[in-house]
Chains A and B, each alone.
Chain A
Amino acid sequence: MAVFKGNDVHVVAPDVAISFFKGIMPFNTLDAETLRWLACHCRIDFFPKGTRLLTADTTELSYLYLIQRGGVKAFLEDDNGEVTLKDFRGEGASIGALAIIRGTAANLNIETVEDTFCFLLPREIFLDLIAKQPAFTHYYLKSFSEKIVTTAYSELRHHKVARRSNDDLYLFSIRVGDLVKTLRKVAANVTIQEAAILMSEHRVGCLLVHDPSDEEKIVGILTDRDLRGKVVAAGLDYNQPVATIMNSPVQTVLSQSLCFDVLLKMMATGIHHLAVERGGRVVGVITSHDIMLLQGHSPYYLFREIRAEQQIVGLYPLAQKIPEVIRGLIGEGAKAGNITQMIAILNDHILGRMLTLLEKEMGVPPVPYCWLLLGSEGRREQTFKTDQDNAIIYADPVDEAQKQAAETYFAAFAAKAIDHLVNCGYPLCPGEIMAINPLWCQPLSVWTHYFDHWIAAPEPQELLNSIIFFDFRAGFGEAILAEELRAHLNREIVGMDLFLFHLARQCMETRVPLSFFKNFIVEKDGEHKNRLDIKRQGLTPFVDFARVLALKFGVKETNTLARLKALMEGEQIQGELWSAASEAYELQMQQRLVHQLRQIEAGILPDNHIDPADLSDLERRMLKDAFAVIERLYGVLERMYPVM
């Protein structure tokens, strides 16, 4: 223990200060020596309950306040004395950071709501940390900086999803560039036979086809399957040039793409050979087989099993495997956006396979149809098993007989399909928005009429009930029917401002929580709640916002992240708002996924209610930032659709 020597030589850094700093972000990133130094430059102050600490636009800050015990509220007061609550802050939170960084007076009024002890860190020291410690800049200046987001994800993964075994992280760590083998290619004017000989010599299942005059210009791809299906089976002359049977153009992926993304692309498109591009040049081919060789049990195996299943009842157990696959993906570090896409693809394949087998059983439908997916399924955002929301749209019958035939067929078809889906583990929709309901099993002309009605005379209650229909997409069958309906809707909605106004207003009705305080969610009116409904309060505002703008600007996408991206690309929202909104939305989806996964594993029915006590500081911080983003989205809607 050092000895006190003279007035300003400091002796011991009290443990109390060091352990306090170690417990709060971003101070916990500092090394021991810096912490000791900080501890010796701190003061501790006490503010009884009801003390005004800072006054907006007036108080100049000489310290950063860090709450050790107690809590404060932040609020603004306008000229008429009207008070707007802005935040509640509890232990570990800071006060005055932004004002110090910006060199301005306090931007909020701060008052203690409990007896409060604060550590006071001199302003110069704080500014020095901001200048020298990247973690501080990230923490205080960027609400969704990459570093914090990454930390949040890894925290979610490591602390909340227990690993079962040492699964390889290959899907998310290996890039396709590392997998490609030597590139084999032939000119497009080479005969089919010559190409087949080359394939046999090199023992490869596919060849890239290049322009005869330019080796670098890849024009197509030739696979074993083409030789089998288009040549041998069809009895084609194999002295024809390969150009006649090749697949063109070639689908490409970038060599730095993660295997996971490539797998998603293969599963979504059904194309199993993709050219790998590096620096604008095709450097090889990646096949589903290459990726499969890397893995044991995984999404791709399940996908294959579904596709190969010959019995509808055989699909039941396969559908039940989906949560296990999803768990693996979360454990491997997949982000919510990827995971929900994967869930959508697997569910789509279950549906597609089931309906294909059902058609075989019931005979060819009298008219072409499309199985529509609505709501979260329509947006490709369902998490674990969610209610069925579906419908059938079929081509308009040409006469009464065909109309009768269609009604009879699709009624029976839908009844069986819904039954099978229940057996697969997709519960019935309590609102009966399902193809089994005659209202929602209709020809195209009726569907266009429905939408015309919804957008022309919006009754608030009716609007609320019809919202999920606006997120429809084709699940199986003749996608063109769904596309026609979408095109019709986008045409008709132009100028329907009253409808969009109501939609926007309805979106803004969801109150955004303000903050966390101890183990409560604080609402804007100061009310405390002990549960956060992460779906209703956290995710729905983003979904609603994206829907309003997508409809307004004729964006065809239904997925919220895809809608936001399209809106950004169309310059209907700012790039900065887009990235903040996407990060905030996806991180909350992740939070929800992890929450539900934990419930499923604990044998509890999954829900959307998160207990603030279960959240880490970082999670609270991220959620709080997400609430702020929602406020900004509401601001956009407010300007677009002001109340007169």
Chain B
Amino acid sequence: MVNLFKPNTWFSPPHPLIIQNREAFAGFDQSRPLTEYTFVVCDTELTGFDRKRDEIISIGAVLIRDLQIDLGATFHQYIRPRSLRHTEATLIHRITPEQLAGAPPLEEVLPDFIEFSGNGLMVGHFVELDMGFLNIAARKLMGGTLANPAIDTIRMARRYRQILLGPFREEDDHSVSYVLEDLAREYNLPMFKPHDALEDAIQTAYLFLFLLKKFRKGGLLTLKDIYQAGRVGSLRY
């Protein structure tokens, strides 16, 4: 809250990359064929889920172009948080405080990541969480949020299940797991080691590609079709 009154963060013009980002999506067209979009499948590792306190400690991402995962276009970076104390999450991620201590701060990483993402649409497993943390950081460090529309693979998976079950079946959504690993197993996707930002991003990319092409086979050919059919994401976070 203190920052609100600091003129140089609140009133100064946004970072050039943020301006560029806004311009890129100003006239965003949802009606093009799916193959024409670039998707940025990303995953962030966090110290916890508290948006006020917790921080991003790693970002992993991979691009999908022409509806193919491009292994030549990956992003993976550890980030030094302001506080290096042990948290429960660092145990899950198996990232040691030493690894983080040697990493650059988010101020340096975020612009790189925004540049990497370019005109791509963000894709994530529960992407709301990733976008939330990224935008808090972007607003604070770069004076504005990201304009990239985003797609959530959890919502896609839920929609896919509904389609498979058909309109007359009452879905018992609580009995099924939407954990990334469980979905990968259910759809017989190649498996990756969980809780590494890049591997999780690639795992999500496999899931996304699987679902997107299943939808496409069902006749959903444009991005708009996908959004409308499944309420799979949001144009704004």
Contact of B68 with A120 in the complex, beta carbons under 8 Å: yes
Given known A12-B198, A14-B199, A48-B213, contact A115–B188 (CB-CB < 8 A): yes
- A237 on interface, CB distance cutoff 8 Å: no
| Min C-beta distance of B151 to chain A, whole Å | 16
Contacts of B187 in A (CB 8 A): 115
| Min C-beta distance of A18 to chain B, whole Å | 10
Contacts of A3 in B (CB 8 A): 77, 104, 109, 112
Contact of B73 with A10 in the complex, beta carbons under 8 Å: yes
- B76 on interface, CB distance cutoff 8 Å: yes
Chain A interface SS verdict (over half): loop
Contact of A4 with B213 in the complex, beta carbons under 8 Å: no
Interface size on B, residues (CB 8 A): 37
Contacts of B190 in A (CB 8 A): 16, 68-69, 117
| Mask: chain A, 1-45; 1 = CB below 8 Å from B; 0 = not | 101111100111111110000000000000000000001111111
- A46 on interface, CB distance cutoff 8 Å: yes
- A440 on interface, CB distance cutoff 8 Å: no
Which of B24-32, B43-51, B82-90, B202-210 has 4 or more CB atoms under 8 Å from chain A?
B202-210
CA distance A1 to B75 in the complex (A): 10
| Min C-beta distance of A480 to chain B, whole Å | 68
CA distance A120 to B112 in the complex (A): 27
CA distance A593 to B78 in the complex (A): 55
Nearest opposing residue in chain A for B216, CB measure: A48
| Min C-beta distance of B212 to chain A, whole Å | 8
Contacts of A120 in B (CB 8 A): 68
Contact of B213 with A14 in the complex, beta carbons under 8 Å: no
Contact of A43 with B68 in the complex, beta carbons under 8 Å: yes
CA distance A3 to B109 in the complex (A): 9
Chain B interface SS verdict (over half): mixed
Within 8 A of A (CB), among B181-227: 187-190, 192-193, 198-199, 202, 205-206, 209-210, 213-214, 217
CA distance A68 to B188 in the complex (A): 11
Contacts of B192 in A (CB 8 A): 16
Nearest opposing residue in chain B for A41, CB measure: B72
Interface size class of A (residues with CB under 8 A): 20 to 34
- B9 on interface, CB distance cutoff 8 Å: no
Which of B72, B187, B210, B213 has the largest count of A CB atoms less than 10 A from its CB?
B72
Contacts of A4 in B (CB 8 A): 75-77, 112-113, 115-116
Contacts of A44 in B (CB 8 A): 68-69, 71, 205-206, 209
| Mask: chain A, 85-98; 1 = CB below 8 Å from B; 0 = not | 00000000000000
Contacts of B68 in A (CB 8 A): 43-45, 120
Contact of B71 with A46 in the complex, beta carbons under 8 Å: no
Contact of A42 with B199 in the complex, beta carbons under 8 Å: no
Contact of B199 with A15 in the complex, beta carbons under 8 Å: yes
By Cβ-Cβ distance, the 3 closest A-B pairs, closest first, are A44-B69, A43-B68, A46-B209
Given contacts A12-B76, A17-B71, A115-B187, 16 further A-B contacts (CB under 8 A): A1-B76, A3-B77, A4-B77, A10-B72, A14-B198, A39-B71, A40-B71, A42-B71, A42-B72, A45-B67, A45-B209, A46-B206, A47-B213, A69-B188, A115-B210, A117-B190
Residue contacts A-B, CB under 8 angstroms, 29 given? A3-B77, A3-B104, A3-B112, A4-B75, A4-B76, A12-B76, A13-B71, A14-B62, A14-B71, A14-B199, A15-B199, A39-B71, A40-B72, A42-B72, A43-B68, A43-B69, A43-B71, A44-B69, A44-B206, A44-B209, A45-B209, A46-B209, A46-B213, A48-B213, A48-B214, A48-B217, A115-B188, A117-B189, A117-B190
